[in-house]
Structure 1
Amino acid sequence: MKKTILSLLVLFMAAQFCAAQTTTPSKAEQEILDLSKAKWLWMADKKVDTLNAFFVDKAMFVHMSGKWDKARELEVIKSGSIWYKKAEVYSASVNILGNTAIVLNDLDLLAVVGGNEVINPFMVTEVYLKENGKWRLAQLTFSTQRRPVKLTKP
Structure 2
Amino acid sequence: MKTSIIGLFFIIMSITSAKAQTSTPTKTEQEIIKLSKTKWDWMADKNVDSLSVLFDEKAVFVHMGGSWGKAREIAVIKSGGIHYKKADIHAVAVNIIGNTAILLNNITLLAVVGGNEVSNPFIVTEVYVKQGSGWKMGSLSFTKINQPAQ
Alignment TM-score, normalising by the size of structure 2? 0.86
Q: How many residues align?
A: 137
In the other structure, the counterpart of 2:65 is 65
1:26 aligned residue: 26
Matches within 5 A, 1:1-80: 19-80=19-80
Written as runs of structure 1 = structure 2, the 5 A alignment for 1:94-105 is 94-105=94-105
What is aligned with 2:9?
none
Q: 1:133 Cα deviation (Å)?
A: 1.5
1:86 and 2:86 matched: yes
Aligned counterpart, 1:139: 139
Shift of 1:21: 2.5
Contact 1:119 1:149 in 2 (8 A): no
Hey, what's the Cα distance between the residues in 2 that align with 1:15 and 1:132? 37
The answer as to whether partners of 2:108 and 2:148 remain within 8 angstroms in 1 is no
- With over 3 angstroms needed to count, the CA separation of the structure-2 counterparts of 1:17 and 1:65, relative to structure 1, is closer
Shift of residue 20, structure 1, vs aligned partner = 4.2
**What percentage of aligned pairs have identical amino acids?**
58
The alpha carbon displacement at 1:136 in A equals 1.2
Letter in 1 for 2:123: M
The CA distance in 2 between the partners of 1:16 and 1:139, in whole Å, is 30
Structure 1: how far apart are the matches of 2:126 and 2:149? 21
Q: Distance in 1 between matches of 2:20 and 2:77?
A: 39
Q: Secondary structure at the match of 2:120?
A: strand
Look up the equivalent residue of 1:111 and give its one-letter code.
A
The AA in structure 2 aligned to 1:31 is E
Structure 2: gaps (5+ residues): 1-13
Superposed displacement of residue 16, structure 1:
8.0
The structure number with the bigger radius of gyration is: 1
Aligned residue identity for 2:31: E
Q: TM-score, normalized by length of structure 1?
A: 0.84
Give the RMSD, CA atoms, in angstroms: 1.7
- Please identify runs of 4+ aligned residues in structure 1 that moved more than 3 A: 14-20
Instruction: Work out whether residues 33 and 94 of structure 2, in 8 Å CA contact, stay in contact via their aligned partners in 1.
Output: yes
Gaps of 5+ in 1: 1-13
Cα deviation per residue 1:89-144 (whole Å; 9 max; x = unaligned)?
A: 10010000111110000000000001110000000000000001211111000001
The residue identity in structure 1 corresponding to 2:109 is L
CA separation of 1:117/1:28 partners in 2, compared to 1, >3 Å: closer, same or farther?
same
Secondary structure of 2:72 counterpart: helix
